[in-house]
Structure 1
Amino acid sequence: MSTSVAGHEGVAPPTSWKWGWFVALGVALIVLGVIAWIDVAFVTVASVIFIGASLVVSGVFQIAHAFMTRQWRGFITGVLCGVLYLVGGFLIMNEPVQGAVVLTLLVAATFIVGGIFRIVLALRHRDVAAWGLILFSGVVSIGVGYLLYASLPWSGLWVLGTLIAVELVVQGASWLSFGLSLRKTQLAAG
């Protein structure tokens, strides 16, 4: 089945003709983000359970892979890694609130370490015009990491859900904007 565009057989319509799909995707993601924001604790627990289930599945595949390739030197390591994934996954799924606290602790540590690296980078490149912004972003990251750590275990109940909600809203807004830009392009072209 061929499509016809402006008399050209087999030519697919330009992406700008499908702007409505991008707008619909953007609106759907924004709505999901707002829903996630309404109950960030539920989204946090659900995401932790999903992470735990992913670890269990990964552990099963790791162990199966180790047995399928047992002639390789890494057999014992493969089995042990698979068992570690299984145990970690089951522990997280069994205690999702504690799992959320541990994951929040990892997020806080990531923010602090990333902030330190940005501060060092900024101080090494003071000759670049925007070094002060990089320094500021590093200080903010350290501050956010410290606040997350200082507010544990309570921050563990809302951090992951909030990050997911923000991601959904920002991604939705970008797709919505992209779709509306495509619509302008289509209107301008014809």
Structure 2
Amino acid sequence: MMAMTLGGVFTRQDLALLRGKWGILLAFGFSIVALGLLAFFNVVIATVASIYYVGASMLVAGILQIAHAFQLRGWRSFLSWLMIGLVYALAGVLAFVNPLLASSFLTLLLAISLLVVGLLRILAGLSLRPTKFASWLLVAGAITLFVGVFVLAGWPLNSRWFIGLLLAMDLTFHGIAMVIFAIALRNTPIPE
């Protein structure tokens, strides 16, 4: 007997292997929950850590883009590729130099994105009326729009802690999901 998963078939061997590691998954889940709770109690530090991660990613992407541009030096668009790399690298450096300013910019960008996505979901929901799915899309759009207004109303003061709060929530819920998955694995019988 096989159970279907999102990625394909979940075989008996897969279940046996995962079930044998349920304790490690449980410990991993509790560790992630602990990190999430730590981030909840230190949201400003979690925000700065997140910004450093984003800054490092942008800096590496910028350096790679610049290196790629120099590989194509004879190409007409060399300067465009070089400028893209320089902007990425500069943004990465600025995130390290002033992480709270970078978090302010990212929080504003997130608020604007949530407002736009919320409005688009509402419009999509209105265009799908009277189908049953439309109401779900309208509710999702209204919630997204509300969160966008909430974030924008608190900006720039909330930019010191908002990204850290998102990280804390993500870590905590991911850890809880891992704990539940591990317990479910332990309690799931392996089919013959």
Into which bin does the TM-score normalised by the smaller protein fall? 0.7 to 0.9
Q: Over aligned residues, Cα RMSD in angstroms?
A: 1.9
**Could you tell me how far apart the structure 2 residues matched to 1:189 and 1:63 are?**
54
What code does the residue aligned with 1:153 have? P
Range 134-143 or range 38-47, more displaced:
134-143
Please, which of 79, 82, 97 is the counterpart of residue 82 of structure 2?
79
Match of 2:158 in 1: 155
How far is 1:92 from its partner? 2.0
What code does the residue aligned with 1:71 have? G
Match of 1:49 in 2: 52
| Identity in percent | 34
Structure 1: tracts of 5 or more residues without a match = 1-10
Please, which of 60, 65, 87 is the counterpart of residue 62 of structure 1?
65
Match of 1:91 in 2: 94
What code does the residue aligned with 1:122 have? G
What code does the residue aligned with 2:140 have? S
Please, which of 117, 120, 127 is the counterpart of residue 114 of structure 1?
117
How far is 1:131 from its partner? 2.3
Range 85-94 or range 65-74, more displaced:
65-74
Match of 1:129 in 2: 132
Structure 2 residue 146 is the aligned partner of structure 1 residue 143: yes
State the secondary structure of the residue aligned to 2:146.
helix
- Runs ≥4 in structure 1, deviation > 3 angstroms? none
Matches within 5 A, 1:97-108: 97-108=100-111
What code does the residue aligned with 2:172 have? V
Range 66-75 or range 51-60, more displaced:
66-75
Structure 2 residue 167 is the aligned partner of structure 1 residue 164: yes
State the secondary structure of the residue aligned to 1:14.
helix
State the secondary structure of the residue aligned to 2:28.
helix
How far is 1:73 from its partner? 3.1
**Could you tell me how far apart the structure 1 residues matched to 2:136 and 2:175 are?**
27
How far is 1:185 from its partner? 1.5
Is the CA contact 2:108–2:156 (under 8 Å) kept in the aligned structure 1? Answer: no
| TM-score, with length taken from structure 2 | 0.86
* Cα deviation code 1:63-87 (max 9, x no counterpart): 1111123233331111111111121
**Could you tell me how far apart the structure 2 residues matched to 1:20 and 1:128 are?**
45
Structure 2: tracts of 5 or more residues without a match = 1-12
Matched positions, count = 179
